[in-house]
Amino acid sequence: MYCKNCGQEINENQKYCPTCGVPIEHTLDEVPIDNEPLNFGGPVQRPVMQSPIDQSNTGESQYQNNMNAQQNNIPPQNNVPPQFGGMPQYSNVPPYVAPRKKENKLVVALLLGLVALFVFGGIVSFAVRVYKGMNSGSYNSAFDNDNTEEEDSDTYTTVEETDKDSDDKSENAEYAAEDYTGPYDYFNDEWVVPVQGAFVSSSGFVNSEYLGDSMSLAQTTDLKKSMALVNGLQFIFFDQDASDIEFAPDAHCADIAPKGGNMFYVIPAGIHGDIELGKLYIIDTNNGKTELIAEDVVSSSPVISPGGKYVAYSRYSETDGDFILCVGGKDLEEELVTIGVLAPICVSDDKQIVFINQNESSIDAFDGAVCYPIFENCEITDTFINTDCNEILGTGKDGTYYYKFNNSEGEKKIFDSKLSGIFTDCLNQPYGQIANTKYCDVPSLTDILFISKDGTVFAINNDGHGVTKLPHAFSELSNVMMNSGVNARKVLYSCDGTLYRFDFDDSKSVESVVYEDITVDNFVCSYDLKKIWLISGSEIYYLEKDKATLVASGLAPHSDPLEDGIMWNIEDNWLYYLKSGKLYRVNTKEDSNQVVSDDASILTNVYGKLYYLNEARTGVYLFMDGEFKKVL
């Protein structure tokens, strides 16, 4: 195939053009999980952030609902956030239609007064934003004001209230939001999230500057900060008010620490053989101060620890006449780890590193003191790491392997098949520069369900020894949800018209029937599995203990809640659904049914926070502050 931007011939598995750096457009069937074995070196490729989010063709962010839909064209499952990158997004539907940006034209005399009013409002808005920026720290160096353009009123706006007349049409219904206190609630503090290609903040600001642009996105796990590579050319930092700051315009590589605090970037400075070298800088995102960490760094090698304390990287050493693996950080001296052609996959805040050892064709680990191999004589194409970067799972055609630091046994082959997907409700996104690595915001990878190529669904045992399989294949399940607590992991799934529960135990796991009195086509539930709604034909039931109460009827009979727009909202712990062009919400009883909007056609979510599009796709409404507000 050929790059549509420059015409260069490219490999079908490449995500970016090696010549011009533009992300390569793939259909779902064109993005295989069977990537080439992990490698280091070779031709220099400018963009290194993974999983491009292509917005150039349709005007909407092409986020995938889950990894299975992206990699294997398997129908997406309800309540499953994106795997292998991207935010939850309703797919295969017409996108939000962004209005054309206003052109600069002369205004007729009758509108002069209105223009003057807008100018005054713009000055006030600008002053407020400047105050907010000053209040959050004085950006300098990489965040130099010379590199930052203030957005105009067309692209940086505030959210709008919805039409109150269209809300709460049921006369006897009373709406009372419920607090959700379970796992994966990312909206308890300030936040900024991408919605249909724009960035929306909890403070009510909407940044639509990059609508229609191709974008690769990395977010902190508290959702307060984000970093994006726009159009494969420019890195942008977004703060908690959705303000965008361009930085390091010449950088070929950059990333943000998953738990916030610091970012790094690499400015190219030369070539050694066919490997690009550059200067490595680290930025404090709280004040914008920049520090040079190292020179002659392999541009595609750096990875940053979750809290931003360390950066692991490879660089060329004139003294040794070879490449060396190092670790450094802000106000820290560089430390040599080992010598050789090495590429770090991840680094923890405890200075534990997993890296590719090209010399030995293995994946090795550094525990802060010594290096040793963990995955040998196997081809690994994809890796997963947990929130602290002290566990790693690698998968490839030879099977699936798991390793945890401070575990004396080292390498463990836990499954003979390659993975095809995962189920999790945690924030997960690409991490690092190589190895198709996915960062999962879970304490342990044992809190995730994995799907193998042969359709087996399993979880890693708590002790790290082997796996426990569900008694049903993935193809038999209409939905599956997992919740992990202290020494307790349980899964709900619907299969053959019955709702089941599976309790994981390393020694003896048990499957039990939860409900079978009606045909359960599918179900929707909260992340903690405490609130459950059953879908049976055209009806919705609320399940409490062993009793199912009818709460909604008259829906189009279908068994896929995601396609039909039936979703739980993390913000108020209610269920929302679409019917006949309207958006409804319901709780545990039928008389709680309410019309939320008379004009709604698409319902989707960002990490459990719902938003919908109207029929014309000209308005996007996000649930915030207890109601839906128009953000686009």
Does residue 51 have a pLDDT over 50? no
Tell me how far apart the 2 most distant CA atoms of the chain are, in Å.
Answer: 81
Q: Is 135 helix (H, G, I), strand (E, B) or coil?
A: helix
Rounded average pLDDT over 605-623: 95
Does residue 342 have a pLDDT over 70? yes
- The pLDDT, as a whole number, for residue 96 is 59
Q: What is the pLDDT of residues 210-236, one digit of tens each?
A: 998 998 899 999 999 999 999 988 999
Does residue 555 have a pLDDT over 70? yes
Q: Which of 69, 35, 66, 68 is nearest to 451 (CA)?
A: 68
Residues in CB range of 466: below 8 A, 6 or more apart: 412, 414, 460
Rounded average pLDDT over 386-400: 95
- The pLDDT, as a whole number, for residue 20 is 45
Q: How far apart are CA 567 and CA 523, in angstroms?
A: 10
Place of tokens 């419920």: 178
Does residue 447 have a pLDDT over 70? yes
Angle at the Cα of 440 from the Cα atoms of 195 and 465, rounded to 5 degrees? 155
Angle at the Cα of 256 from the Cα atoms of 196 and 217, rounded to 5 degrees? 20
- Alpha-carbon 184 to chain mean position: 13
Does residue 331 have a pLDDT over 70? yes
Q: Which of 264, 481, 484, 259 is nearest to 387 (CA)?
A: 259
- The pLDDT, as a whole number, for residue 84 is 26
Residue 151 DSSP code: -
Q: How far apart are CA 492 and CA 509, in angstroms?
A: 14
- The pLDDT, as a whole number, for residue 36 is 45
The H or E element that residue 246 is part of is strand 244-247
Residue at 341: amino acid letter: V
Would you place residue 562 in the very low, low, confident or very high pLDDT band (cuts 50, 70, 90)? Answer: confident
Burial of 234 (0-12, 13-18, 19+ CB in 10 A): middle
Report phi then psi at 83, rounded to 5. Answer: -110, 145
- The pLDDT, as a whole number, for residue 434 is 79
Between the ranges 321-330, 372-381, 482-491, where is the mean pLDDT highest?
A: 321-330
Inter-CA distances, 38 with 12, 89, 335, 382, 396, Å:
17, 29, 25, 8, 10
Q: What is the pLDDT of residues 448-465, one digit of tens each?
A: 999 999 999 999 998 888
Residue at 603: amino acid letter: L
- The pLDDT, as a whole number, for residue 154 is 72
| pLDDT, the chain, mean | 78
Would you place residue 559 in the very low, low, confident or very high pLDDT band (cuts 50, 70, 90)? Answer: low
- The pLDDT, as a whole number, for residue 465 is 85
Q: How far apart are CA 290 and CA 280, in angstroms?
A: 10
- The pLDDT, as a whole number, for residue 45 is 28
Place of tokens 């106000």: 331
Q: Which range has the worst mean pLDDT, 138-152, 236-250, 422-436?
A: 138-152
CB burial readout 467-502, b (16+ within 10 A) else e:
bbebebebeebbbbbbbbeeeebbbbbbbeeebbeb
Rounded average pLDDT over 548-558: 90
Would you place residue 364 in the very low, low, confident or very high pLDDT band (cuts 50, 70, 90)? Answer: very high
Does residue 495 have a pLDDT over 90? yes
Q: What is the pLDDT of residues 77-134, one digit of tens each?
A: 233 322 222 222 223 344 555 554 434 333 333 333 433 433 334 433 333 332 333 2
Q: What is the pLDDT of residues 122-174, one digit of tens each?
A: 433 333 332 333 233 333 344 544 444 444 557 878 888 665 444 444 455 78
Would you place residue 10 in the very low, low, confident or very high pLDDT band (cuts 50, 70, 90)? Answer: low
Q: Which of 390, 497, 490, 366 is nearest to 439 (CA)?
A: 390
**523's tokens:** 């179900």
Percentage with pLDDT > 70 across the chain: 73
- The pLDDT, as a whole number, for residue 254 is 94
The 8 Å CB, 24+ separation contacts for 362-366 are: 363/38, 363/394, 365/403, 365/405, 366/325, 366/337, 366/338
Q: CB atoms < 10 A from the CB of 556, how many?
A: 12
Q: Which of 111, 74, 107 is nearest to 91 (CA)?
A: 74
Inter-CA distances, 179 with 22, 168, 187, Å:
43, 20, 11
- The pLDDT, as a whole number, for residue 564 is 83
- The pLDDT, as a whole number, for residue 160 is 80
The H or E element that residue 562 is part of is helix 561-564
Inter-CA distances, 242 with 158, 192, 239, Å:
11, 6, 5
- The pLDDT, as a whole number, for residue 142 is 44
- Better-scored residue on pLDDT, 408 or 364: 364
Q: Is 101 helix (H, G, I), strand (E, B) or coil?
A: coil
- The pLDDT, as a whole number, for residue 14 is 52
Rounded average pLDDT over 511-530: 95
Does residue 39 have a pLDDT over 50? no
- The pLDDT, as a whole number, for residue 87 is 25
